[in-house]
């Protein structure tokens, strides 16, 4: 969903959500609440591909708001609106709100990592909070012979990441798990795209669990109080901060 085509992607998603809603509720006779939930879920999933937080919000909310404004929903019981809320909460559960929003790793972001931290075939790399699998795609491009794992708390994203990785030809094990309870000690590289507020917690966990010589890579956000072992650059200029255990 590039900047040059905006807002065509949003319009396309809204049209698709409306088509699904009308097709299910009128043509197929599916209960309105379920049709509303499925159509909203379609928009929410498509919103994950938006390039900015505002665009993702715009895409996700476009269909339910337009349905409300159109008057089509006038005869719907108020409880029916719990269905789209449930769909959004399933996609991005409350427990994950403290972590980073769904920010996809851009293409080529990890291209420079092998020159700084080469890993032998069979080395293990973890994408902690893998979302739809963009980070796993980039890790596979940088380390095609590594064993890749992805963990994500949202079970719809886990299923979508598995399907997308298979479609992209990325061999990976994706499972539903809390990144803060996942054991990082077996990995040679842990990759994060978090946010500044969660970096201290990530660094404390990495310091406690990563074995000597293992690496933590953080896209864009630097850890305060810890000197990076190296810094790589994304094609768009953003840094990838690299920390090698032990650092404290």
Tokens of 100: 């980073």
Q: Domains along the chain?
A: 3-91 (no CATH), 113-244 (3.40.50.150)
Q: What are phi and psi of 125, to 5 degrees?
A: -130, 140
Rounded to 10 deg, the angle between the 32-47 and 82-91 helix axes is 30
DSSP classification of residue 117: S
Query: In sequence order, which residues have a C-beta less than 8 Å from that of residue 26 and are 6 or more positions away?
Result: none
pTM across the whole model: 0.66
Mean per-residue pLDDT of the chain? 83
Q: What is the pLDDT of residue 25?
A: 81
- What pLDDT does residue 86 have? 59
Intervals of the chain under pLDDT 70: 1-6, 48-54, 69-102, 248
- Coil, strand, or helix at residue 30? coil
Long-range contacts at 70-74 (CB < 8 A, ≥ 24 apart): 73/36
Instruction: Provide the β-strand partners of residue 150.
Output: 127, 174
């Amino acid at each position: 969903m590039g900047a040059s085509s905006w807002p065509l992607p949003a319009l396309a998603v809204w049209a698709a959500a409306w088509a699904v809603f009308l097709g299910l509720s009128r043509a197929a006779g599916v209960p309105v609440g379920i049709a509303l939930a499925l159509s909203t879920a379609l928009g929410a999933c498509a919103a994950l591909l938006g390039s900015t937080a505002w665009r993702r919000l715009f895409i996700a909310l476009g269909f339910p708001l337009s349905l409300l404004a159109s008057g089509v929903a006038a005869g719907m019981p108020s409880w029916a609106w719990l269905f789209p809320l449930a769909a959004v909460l399933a996609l991005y559960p409350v427990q994950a709100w403290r972590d980073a929003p769904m920010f996809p790793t851009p293409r080529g972001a990890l291209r420079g990592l092998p020159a700084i931290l080469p890993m032998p075939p069979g080395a293990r790399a973890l994408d902690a909070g893998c979302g739809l699998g963009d980070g796993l795609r980039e890790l596979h491009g940088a380390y095609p012979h590594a064993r890749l794992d992805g963990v994500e708390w949202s079970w719809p994203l886990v299923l979508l990441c598995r399907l997308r990785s298979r479609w992209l030809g990325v061999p990976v094990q994706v499972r539903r798990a809390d990144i803060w309870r996942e054991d990082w000690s077996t990995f040679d590289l842990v990759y994060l795209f978090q946010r500044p507020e969660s970096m201290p917690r990530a660094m404390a966990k990495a310091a406690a669990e990563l074995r000597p010589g293992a690496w933590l890579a953080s896209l864009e956000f630097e850890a305060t109080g810890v000197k990076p072992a190296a810094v790589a650059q994304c094609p768009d200029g953003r840094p990838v901060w690299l920390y090698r255990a032990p650092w404290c």
